[in-house]
A = this chain, B = another copy of it.
Amino acid sequence: MPDQTSQKQKQKQKPPGHGALRADAQENRDRILRAAREAFAAQGIDVPVAAIARRAGVGVATLYRRFPTRDSLVTEAFAEELSHCVSVLDDALADPDPWRGFCTVIEKVCLMQAADRGFTQAFLTEFPDQADFARERSRAEENLALLVRRAKDAGGLRQDFEPSDVTLLLLANCGVTVGSGEDAATASRRLAAYLLQAFRAETATALPPPARLDLRRVGGPSA
């Protein structure tokens, strides 16, 4: 079994001659990842491994040979989306208007959540043995915190915006996307637009206190 890093490179770029897997093994691997992504997107990351194997048309033993732990399957399935998320944040930090950057991040993350039920869950779950995933995730969280600070300093984002309000937004968006079926993207866009209006510094009036919502809340079984 190659290590996480070379797996990820393989999955993304499929370099010729990587050589660790025979062609049929590679095909199984791709098929399992595809099935896992579809299942996670539709039902969240708690789908039984057996259901993913069935969907992929492989045996459970084959699945475990490619992905010895459930965590390795989840993190591999979402590696690309996590990278996308990190690059969305990098772009936002490069925007000369931090408030515009913040709005873009919120809009894009809400749409990612609407398109894929599993992603926010995966993003927010601790995978102790998946160092690469954890590192990327930490980078995303730090960049978000930095963006929030800059958007406040620039006078765009209200001063009483709390880190837990990101969680509040993701939980709200989760309820909206899960509940609105095929209209998820439209509903999510409208919710994000409403909340961004409420987050603007110039419209701010007093708010009730924030809830103690750690970001990990969103990854729970009900999310």
Contacts and interface: CB of A to CB of B under 8 A. Distances in A.
Nearest to A184: B211
Interface string A183-197: 100110111011101
* Chain A binding surface SS class: helix
A192 B95 CA distance: 31
A186 B165 CA distance: 12
Interface stretch (A51-59, A72-80, A139-147, A168-176): A168-176
Given A176-B175, A198-B194, A213 B183 contact: yes
Contact of A175 (B178, B197, B211): B178
Interface residues on A, range: 35 or more
Interface of A: 165, 168, 171-176, 178-181, 183, 186-187, 189-191, 193-195, 197-200, 203-205, 207-213, 217-218, 220, 222-223
21 contacts: A165-B190, A165-B194, A168-B176, A168-B187, A171-B180, A171-B187, A172-B175, A175-B175, A175-B223, A178-B222, A181-B217, A183-B211, A183-B213, A186-B210, A187-B213, A190-B210, A190-B211, A193-B207, A195-B198, A197-B203, A197-B205
